[in-house]
Amino acid sequence: MSELLVGVDRSDESRRAVEFATERARELGDSLVVVHVIPWSPFSFNTPEDNEQRPARRAAEIAAATTQVTEPMAAVAREVGVSVDTLVQHGDPVDTLIEIARSRGSAQIVLGRTGDGRVRRAVFGSIPSQVVQHASVPVTVVP
Amino acid sequence: MSGFPGVLPLSIDDTVSEYFGPISDFIVSVVFYSVTILGADVSLIVLWLIGAAIFFTIWFGVPQIRHLPHSLNLVRGRFSKPEDAGEVSHFQALATAVSGTVGLGNIAGVAVAISLGGPGATFWMIVAGFFAMASKMAECTLGVMYRRRHADGSVSGGPMYYLRDGVAKVSGNARLGKFLAAFFAVCCIGGSLGGGNMFQANQATAQIVSVTGGADSPFADINWVIGLVFAVAVGAVIIGGIKSIARVTEKIVPFMAGIYVAACLIVIGGSIGQVPSAFGEIVSSAFSPASVGGGFLGVLMVGFQRAAFSNEAGIGSASIAHSAVKTEEPATEGFVAMLEPLIDTIIICTMTALTIVITGAWQDEEASELGGVALTSSAFESVIPWFPNVLALAVVLFAFSTMISWSYYGMKATGYLFGDSTTAEIVFKVIFCVFIVIGAALSLKPVIGFSDAMIFSMSIANVIGLYILAKTVRNEIRRHLGKVESGEFARVK
């Protein structure tokens, strides 16, 4: 049994990606891991007070993302009896998704075609397009 | 603003000076008690700091050279576990501490050193910066070793905690630990009001007045008004809780630092041929008895004093900023903190010094009489005529960010003394804002005297604690290096 990694945020496109991955997993008898990455860089500049509060804030961010993003998405798969795991991690969304897929040995990454505004997309490219370019496993982008 | 009649505001600036001057003079005479050696006034507190820096350099086996690559790898995240993402990284802790130290000390402090001690003071600043890397390493390792995790999940530390808990444990004398910690906390409140506040407000105001017409500036006689604006902005953050202002500043300051360094490089690059002779002058006048009153010892003291004021090693402030880092190995933050005097003093201060020496601005009588930021500004102006305006913006932002950092240090000290009492913290914050106005209204001399005295007084208890805990901290560093050698603490990328 292999695992499909679904990268999600709160968007409708992410929900469609989860539905697509759930369907595939059910057909193939695979499991899912629903991943949300909270954008974060170790090279940012903070105030001393931000740093002091950081451990508590990090825990709160992970808890909020779990209850508001990954668990509702995972419920879609659980409803139809697909085995599903959830994961929330801080980092660069593209690098983190690729690294999690590598470390867990995921067979495939599934993403919704969304996430960024026009300007950001024009300058940096969208998250799905960057994952497609750099991932070492097949990537499916769901419109 | 030009519509102000000037009579009342002028008297406000003067009244502040009249009352504050004698207080400042008294405090300076106590903290900077000097003895005369070979005709030079040698300040004992400066010797105290440089002595500690040299001691820890030897005690740790010259880590500045032997372990610099390890420090750089830690900052680059080469040892950071992926599961710690979202916590405070080594880089973030260093950047926060650096933004508290890089400020007017690097721009105005160097100018003060050169106007008092000639170019040779730069040499001693660099020497002091090199040794200071070791004392910074000691205090920041201890900061993490004895930090506190509060009930709400927040993490804070600093000399108050390693003095109270560490000294009590090692010496077996809880009273001594408590006394040193309380003494440090009182001095830290003073330091936050002096160097972390008044000096910043004073020099930022001086630069604003300078670029808006100098003596003809509409602000020339109403410096306190600029101070009031600063006080309102700082108050909005620390009392009003508008954190976004501080966050935006924290993001802009690194760019301004980049612009400042780039401008230094433009000035230096434009006269690249003169760099060897400028260095030659810096080195030769460092040992030249004719360079300043008191001969070479006099220059040395000026250089050491300004270096210590700029990089704050041995003062204990950075230990508060570094304590929030995510690590299970306290020594790692010591290695990272070691980079602070390197960036602050050896790189940035040297850039300022070369700019001032190469342009010959320090020989211009008028500018050197003004001293401080005005001297640095005139050095830039001689090559890039419009740069003083950019410098004014940079100075304002550096001053603001340093004030925010130091208000935090002062607040932590207040919290330690008064058991995290909200009333005490509010009172401290209001006093902090009042001191911004006082700092802006005063002339440079009493401000720099008071600022130095307050900042340096923090080192009395801190360095005693560092000596008591010297064995503890060296064991911790050796334990860490052993783990690195055995591969137990290994690179992850």
For the segment B172-182, what is each residue's pLDDT rounded down to a tens digit? 999 999 999 99
pLDDT of res. B6: 39
Residues in chain B: 493
Q: Which whole number is the average pLDDT over B62-80?
A: 96
Higher pLDDT, B125 or B115: B125
Question: pLDDT at residue A16 above 50?
Answer: yes
pLDDT of res. A120: 59
| pLDDT, tens only, A52-104 | 999 999 999 999 999 999 999 999 999 999 999 999 999 999 999 999 999 99
Cα separation values, B317 from B253, B353, B366, B411, Å: 19, 25, 35, 12
Query: How many Cβ contacts (< 8 angstroms) between chains A and B?
Result: 94
Residue recorded with tokens 């402090």: B109
Q: How far apart are CA A2 and CA A12, in angstroms?
A: 26
Q: Which of B20-24, B26-30, B331-335 has the highest mean pLDDT?
A: B331-335
Query: Are A45 and B85 in contact (CB < 8 Å)?
Result: no
Question: pLDDT at residue B11 above 60?
Answer: no
State whether residue B118 is helix, strand or coil. Answer: coil
Question: pLDDT at residue B290 above 60?
Answer: no
When CB atoms are compared, the residue of A43, A47, A58 closest to B87 is A58
Contact B346, B129 (CB under 8 A): yes
pLDDT of res. A35: 96
A80, two tokens: 């139809």
Residues B412-424: b if buried by 16+ CB within 10 A, e if exposed: bbbbbbeeeeeee
Chain B interface mutation, best of A46, A95, A103, highest count of B Cβ atoms under 10 Å: A46
| pLDDT, tens only, B336-374 | 999 999 999 999 999 999 999 999 888 877 766 667 888
Query: Are A90 and B247 in contact (CB < 8 Å)?
Result: no
Contact B356, B375 (CB under 8 A): yes
Contact B335, B76 (CB under 8 A): no
A90, two tokens: 């801080």
Task: Give the single-character DSSP code of B289.
Answer: T
Residue A90 distance to chain B (closest CA, Å): 5
Q: What is the ipTM metric for this complex? A: 0.88
Q: How far apart are CA B381 and CA B389, in angstroms?
A: 10
Helix (H) or strand (E) segment spanning residue B320 = helix B317-322
Write the Ramachandran bin of B180: left for phi over 0, alpha for psi from -120 to 50, otherwise beta: alpha
pLDDT of res. A66: 97
Helix (H) or strand (E) segment spanning residue B287 = none
pLDDT of res. B124: 94
Question: pLDDT at residue B329 above 90?
Answer: yes
Query: Which residues of chain A have a CB within 8 Å of the CB of B80?
Result: 42
Q: How many CB atoms lie within 10 A of CB B192?
A: 30
Instruction: Provide the pLDDT confidence category of residue B70 given band limits of 50, 70 and 90.
Output: very high
Contacts of B482 (CB under 8 A, 6+ apart): none
**Averaged pLDDT of chain B:** 89
Flag the least confident range among B41-50, B54-63, B295-304, B464-473: B295-304
Question: pLDDT at residue B201 above 50?
Answer: yes
Higher pLDDT, B259 or B22: B259
Contact B478, B49 (CB under 8 A): no
State whether residue B294 is helix, strand or coil. Answer: coil
Query: Which residues of chain B have a CB within 8 Å of the CB of A44?
Result: 92, 95
Residue B290 distance to chain A (closest CA, Å): 44
State whether residue B239 is helix, strand or coil. Answer: coil
Residue B29 amino acid letter: S
pLDDT of res. B49: 94
